[in-house]
Structure 1
Amino acid sequence: MIVIHQNRKRSVLFASTGFFVISLGIAALIGWLLNVGVLKSVFSAYVTMKFNTSLCFIISGLSFLLLTRYNDSFSKSLMRLLLFCFGAVALVSFSQDIFHYSAGIDQLFITDHNLIVPGHLFPGRISPSTALCFILLAIGLWNVGAKGIFYRNIAQYFLHAITLIAFISLIGYLFSVPYALKFSFFSTMALNTAIAFLLFSIVASLINDDLGFTGLYMGAGIGNIIARKFFPGMIIALLVLAYISIELERAEYISTEFGVIITTASFLITGLFLTRSTVKEMNFLDLKRTEAENETRLLNKNLEKIILQRTNDLKRSNARFLTIFNASPICIAIARTDNGEYEDVNPALLEMLEFKREEIIGHSAADLSIITADYRQYFADRMVDHGSIKNEDTILKGKNGDIKHCILSAEVLDDGNDKYLMSFVYDITERKITENNLQETKKDLEILADKLTGQNKQLLSFAHIISHNLRAPVSNLNLLVHFYKESTTELEKEELWGNFDTVIGHLNSTLDELLETLKIQEDIAKEREILSFEKTFNSVKETLIGQIKETHAIINVDFTKAQDIVYPKIYLESIMLNLVSNALKYKSPERAPRITITSDNINGELMLSVQDNGLGIDLARHSKNLFGLRQTFHRHSEAKGLGLFLTKTQVETMGGEISAESEVDKGTIFKVKFNRNEE
């Protein structure tokens, strides 16, 4: 059973018809129960609608409503049950007339005392024509929604048969043909029964309005239009002419033979007028068709011109596109969006990635490993969020594995059938290399500038140191020379000569220290080698073993995080020696020295830390002068203020940094950060 889908007007018509048939049956049922004649028959002289007929109309109306308004399985099952019920009643009643027996159903519910047909032997029985119509109606409604066209055609023609039987019965009532003269098969169908069957069958045939005779009148073709205009007029004309002829014969104005002649002639004249009207309608439609054909031809000619022009424009556009596509220095690729396979690429892209055309067409970027999965996912998300890609940095890989730095833009193309991704790739590899070189150069220049700035500061400090440290010895020498000239005894001259030796010794010592500092600053290119922190410390420990034993110092070392360094050997030994000797030299008198030496590697930068528990330094007072030349912060016989200055000079000469954290009477931590390039 197929689903009955109709428009709103059809739905209203179907529902109205179903309720009308049910109402007609209920009215007749009430007429029998209350013995109201006008409800059983429209006119008292006419045949009544039997009680069983009214029941069948109520049941058939309900089944029609279920068929056209509901589609659930329960409604379908109930509809089939109702069709079976009234169809079975009609079949039993019809078989009684065929086989001349009584099944006891004619007056099962009520007794019929109003027979108006003389000689009728079966009161309350449904007439044969009515029973046949109900049988045809049950079969028709059962198959009207069938899936097979054959069964729906059977249903449609069964409904047409009901229409014909009901129409013949109505003509008998219209022409007031006596019962004795009517064909007995149609004689006992009640007027209200015939009206109900006529309306019911015509409306039910609209369910399949493309089948049977209904299809002739419901189509949109010229023949359908002519049929709708011609058939109603012909029916009306026939009925009117027949009615007039019969009435004239009954009034004995004309004889039967002359009545036939008049009816025939009138029908011919009426047919002539109907034909004339039909021809005019067809000519009008043909004129409209001709005008439409002419307009279509004109439109086709204009359309052909437009198509030709558009085709030429498209060819020129394609030619321009191909010229730009193939000659463009920018790499262009067209790929399918469903699978990512390349449909076309220009020579610039082939040259950049070093592929041949046949190697790339029909393959995707993923197949050829042109772009990484991370970049593909990133660009896919960008396309989903924004619908396009604008000037995004990316990295592509050529056939030989060469890395290309590129800027990518992409748009989606839709030709109506498929979608394509058109990508524009600009190779910026050389620019990227230049930028990287510039960055490296900038970094080197910044390092050099920092070194020059530091060296300038050191030179300025050096000038102050020379000015300060040499002024006193020179002044003393001048005074001694003056005293030597003024002396009168040999004893005074001998004493002054001894003073000369002392001052000159101090002057030589100062000059040696300054020369050593200059030598460190200038000797940047000192040979580097792979050094072990452990071995370097052991060498320093052997040098300071006397002080270590004397002070009972405890030294803990941990070089597991950074074991080796590429550095000048003399510098590393000097740095470690100065820091450890300072920790021993400036120990606290209240506790034995405890020194911790560790190395570390933080993001590629090597670190050395030397921590002690000695006297500490007041950094609030001495932080600016901590690494200055001849700066001392504690009284000690061996304190010269040279060790930290030399250590800082050596570290910074190699591009590193040194810093200190200290607290008075708790200790000091010196941290050396070596240049990461020295790893």
Structure 2
Amino acid sequence: MKKILLIDDNEQDRMLYKRFLGKQVGHERFEIHEASSGAEGIRQFRNLRPDCVLLDHNLLDTDGLTLLGDLQELTPPDTLCVVMITGGGSEALAVRALNTGALDYLVKQHFDPELLYKTVTHAIEKNEWRQYITRYHQQLQTVNQQLRDSLEELTETRQQIQQANIQLTAANEEVRARNQELRAANEQLARTNADLDNFVYAASHDLRQPVHNLHGLFEELRRSATFHDPEASQMLRLMEDSFSDLSTTITDLAAVVQVARPPGEQITERVPLADLTADILQTLRPQLQDAKADIKTDFAALPEVEFVRSSLRTVLLNLVANAVKYRHPARPALVQLRSRHTTSHAVLEVQDNGLGLDLDRHGAELFQLFRRFHPNAGEGTGVGLFLVNRLVQAEGGRVEVESVPEQGTTFRVFLPN
């Protein structure tokens, strides 16, 4: 439940905002706290760390812009969510509030319950998205720097090897008696070069797909989302530049060994489900042990399926990981994996006894990007089910879901025969 702090010296206005925010039937409810002065607002903010502050501009002991600056000093950069409210409709004041750090601006007696609710929820979502982008940008910068460092090390190593080859060649010309010894040394150097080529290829090949996935998710977001923050375009441009730099670095690494070893394409194959599941359970072993999860499998009706192995591994890994992550706190986690076939499809089932989902409420958003329905149950970005659905649909399949809140969920993956 999101926490809202109302800072307003007018008790009637505070009562009105509380009534407005409490009338939104079918939406997430808020935990609302009040402060009747700027000083009290500061104390409440320190104790509560609210998700959003509704801040009146005209206070008896201070003004909203000054208090906004005080609140910013209590939070890390770009993490404060404030909606400024004033009794006047001054455009200049609105601009000053937004430039000072407010995420939105409302004029008293010019909004209804729905507008107030939407403004607050949009401000919270915008603040959460801003923090998410910042974290992602920092991670991309770190990966980018690591790749640059690796490339510099590889270049230095290659230069050292080239220098050694020159020295060996000169020694071979000067001392023909040592030809055999020098040939052995050159063969060893050639093997070292091959190992370096294999390393560069493996690094570039393995990193390219995750970067492409990240870039695809970024492009989907930029195409489908609407941003109201005037700084959004600059943030998106910075992200695009980071993606471009990272992709260019990986492409350069691949070009070093492209002639000798071009990367191959993924193909479908007969994948034994028992072996694949064993691999997945080994990967998730720490999470399974922590949750004391009981994993049961039954692949007798369909031991193998035809699919891209890496894609199928991603599908089952995400479904099993989610089943464990969103387990019910009142009982041990039980996850059952089964397989069967119909006339037109191979069917994989992953059933759990966890928290479950309200499909009437969330069903339409289940496979959308960055959607999470149990944010307090564990960490995550809401990408897993989106990837599962995309991977299955890419091969002409589909995913069906049955779920009962507080009882559990069953995912059925239909793959074409």
Do both proteins adopt the same fold according to a TM-score greater than 0.5, normalized to the shorter chain?
no
> With structure 2 as the length reference, what TM-score do the two structures score?
0.40
> With structure 1 as the length reference, what TM-score do the two structures score?
0.25
Higher share of residues assigned helix: 1
* Pair member with larger Rg: 1
Higher share of residues assigned strand: 2
